[in-house]
A and B are shown apart, each in its own frame.
Chain A
Amino acid sequence: MTFSIAVRKQIGQFKLDITLETGPGVTALFGRSGSGKTSLVNLIAGLIRPDHGQIVLDGRTLVDTERSVFVAAGKRRIGYVFQEGRLFPHLSVRSNLLYGRWLTPRGRRWGGLDEVVDLLGIEALLARMPRDLSGGEKQRVAIGRALLASPDFLLMDEPLAALDRERKAEILPYIERLRDTKRLPIVYVSHSVEEVARLADAVALIEDGRVMALGPVGEVFAQLDAVGDWEAGAVLEAVVQAQDPDSGVTRLVHPAGSLVVPHIEAPVGKLLRIRIRARDVTLAVGEPGRLSVRNRLKAEIVSISEGRSHDVGIRLDVGGEPMLARVTRDAVRDLELVPGLAVTALVKAVALDGT
């Protein structure tokens, strides 16, 4: 199930000009607010019309301005989870969930109410009205409502943005389960690096109404100077090796070394994506001595790029994956850092974040 999108749309002063192909799995649309992510999702859903261009879902043309094709939103079979939930206030949770299912022809339905209720853990909410739900509960019901319309594709527009940290942590596992069990392609809009790193397979970097980069999460985030130097970082994949409840840490193993991070709720053997910000990486030449930093990864310098400030961005290769480090100009000179040099990347344990 893939999207092929080439659209242009003028919205006031803002110009959206997007060319994008999505693959299976989760594709994140990542960028600052106001970059055009939501407009793009609304174009895909059929809530707004492009001025020019076409949108094709798996060979099925949804929009083609040249041939005057425009499939109405209700006929696209694309689920949409909105940032603010948008549950129907006059219907109970159960009726909200069944709304889309009721409109879906019998032969096209997949997944039942029980299954979705189970997946999202909303059994206890069924008889309630939306106004009696917490923000996190509303969002889970909204996800369930979209799923029960049996969509071919799911759009999620910052489904966690309106929630606090705890509520986010409550919902993320459900979205992960959805990704892992349903094989439903998802376009996930977010401006949170953490969410994208954790959920997405591919990421499209959107800026000023254009796609600036598209590719696997690790690659795109490694070249992410565009998002602001302070937040730039890379995503690594590591496997849970052991849980150590006594010291409250999780031990991960990566081809370039082992990592100790604050406790992450995950079974041993699970592949996790973790994000390491460039500013949290320290470089050492040769074998470092006795240090409090627990996480050491063998790395090789790929390139050195001069930043706007006194800092220098260094692109590393750690066990075949890209990683970023940010060091001062002085350090580059003193340590004689050059491309091709083997170094040890030191990462503070607290800098690792799975959420």
Chain B
Amino acid sequence: MTEFLSPEEWNAIWLSLKVSTVATVVSLPFGIAIALILARGRFFGRTLLDGIVHLPLVMPPVVTGYLLLLAFGRKGPLGAFFEQTFGLVFAFRWTGAALACGIMGFPLMVRAIRLSIESIDRKLEQAASTLGAGRALVFLTVTLPLALPGILAGVVLSFARALGEFGATITFVSNIPGQTQTVPSAIYALIQTPEGDAAALRLTLISIAISLAALVLSEYLARRMARGATA
């Protein structure tokens, strides 16, 4: 099995999974918070916030990547801040790839979670409060569990998006084997080289398999969510 793929190819797959997982896990709390604000908040600028969250979905990925480079590059304002405060460098590192993937998947995640929060009957939350639960407990014991199908769907969508992310990532963190070369970047590099066709095809098949698995999982969760809503 190990001979099927070269070490570089394994590297790309491993890096892709790591980048996508970190991107999804780290963005999840923010995704839930933003979804809650968009679903429940009634404040000035809500539409603007909604627009900003959705921007990565409609902008060319290259533009998103370039903006990330400007902001999170070592000389960018946010990049400098993170490096000085947390010692965290994004530029040309796998962390930068995770940041790019997280941001590209964020609108999909927020959308799925928001829809499921909006479908929750708030009367159930009232019932919980009359039983002695404060706001935080109502959220943890009623809102969050009832939004769980949407949260899981959002996680799958964001993860799948991260696996396929190419444009923003290559623009922001380039295409360094072992550092920032994820599966899509590796395929891109392989088809540029004369003998790379076979390897590119192998990675392509693996890519398809992973995406398909994610799709099937999200479909299954969507169905469960629909069943839960009618019960």
Contact = CB atoms under 8 A, between A and B. Distances in A.
Interface string B140-157: 011001101000000000
Interface in B204-231: 228, 231
A145 B123 contact: no
A90 B130 contact: no
A73 B129 contact: yes
Contact of A104 (B123, B128, B132): B132
Given A82-B123, A103-B137, A131-B231, A88 B130 contact: no
A72 interface: yes
Interface in B122-178: 123-124, 126-134, 137, 141-142, 145-146, 148
Given A86-B124, A89-B146, A90-B145, A100 B231 contact: no
A80 B146 contact: no
Interface in A112-150: 129, 131, 145-146, 149
Majority secondary structure of chain A interface residues (helix, strand, loop or mixed):
loop
A338 interface: no
Given A46-B129, A90-B145, 13 more contacts: A47-B130, A73-B129, A74-B130, A76-B130, A77-B132, A79-B131, A84-B123, A86-B121, A86-B126, A90-B146, A104-B132, A129-B231, A149-B132
A78 B123 contact: no
A288 B14 CA distance: 100
Interface string A70-104: 00111111111010101011100000000110011
Given A103-B137, A131-B231, A86 B131 contact: no
A47 B126 CA distance: 7
A45 interface: yes
Interface in B77-131: 121, 123-124, 126-131
Contacts of A80: 127, 130
Contacts of B123: 82, 84, 86
A82 B127 CA distance: 8
Contacts of B124: 86, 88-89
A103 B131 contact: yes
Contact of A78 (B126, B128, B130, B228): B130
Closest 8 CB pairs of A and B: A100-B131, A103-B132, A131-B231, A80-B130, A86-B127, A73-B129, A90-B145, A149-B131
Contact of A99 (B121, B131, B146): B131
A146 B128 CA distance: 10
A77 to B, nearest CB: 8
Interface residues of B, number: 20
Contacts of B134: 72, 74
B131 A145 contact: yes
Nearest to A105: B132
Interface in A6-42: none
A72 B129 contact: yes
15 contacts: A46-B129, A47-B129, A73-B130, A74-B130, A78-B130, A79-B130, A79-B131, A86-B126, A88-B124, A89-B146, A99-B131, A103-B132, A131-B231, A146-B130, A149-B131
Contacts of A100: 131-132
From A74, A75, A129, name the one whose CB has the most chain B CB atoms within 10 angstroms.
A74
A46 B132 CA distance: 11
A103 B128 CA distance: 10
Nearest to B120: A89
Interface string A50-88: 000000000000000000000011111111101010101
Contacts of B145: 90
B129 A146 contact: no
B132 A88 contact: no
A74 B127 contact: no
From B121, B124, B130, B142, name the one whose CB has the most chain A CB atoms within 10 angstroms.
B130
Nearest to B131: A100
A201 B202 CA distance: 80
Contacts of B130: 45-47, 73-74, 76, 78-80, 146, 149
A72 B137 CA distance: 13
A73 B126 contact: yes
Nearest to A155: B130
Interface string A287-315: 00000000000000000000000000000
Contacts of A76: 130
Contacts of A145: 131
B179 to A, nearest CB: 43
Nearest to B231: A131
A79 B130 CA distance: 6
Nearest to A45: B130
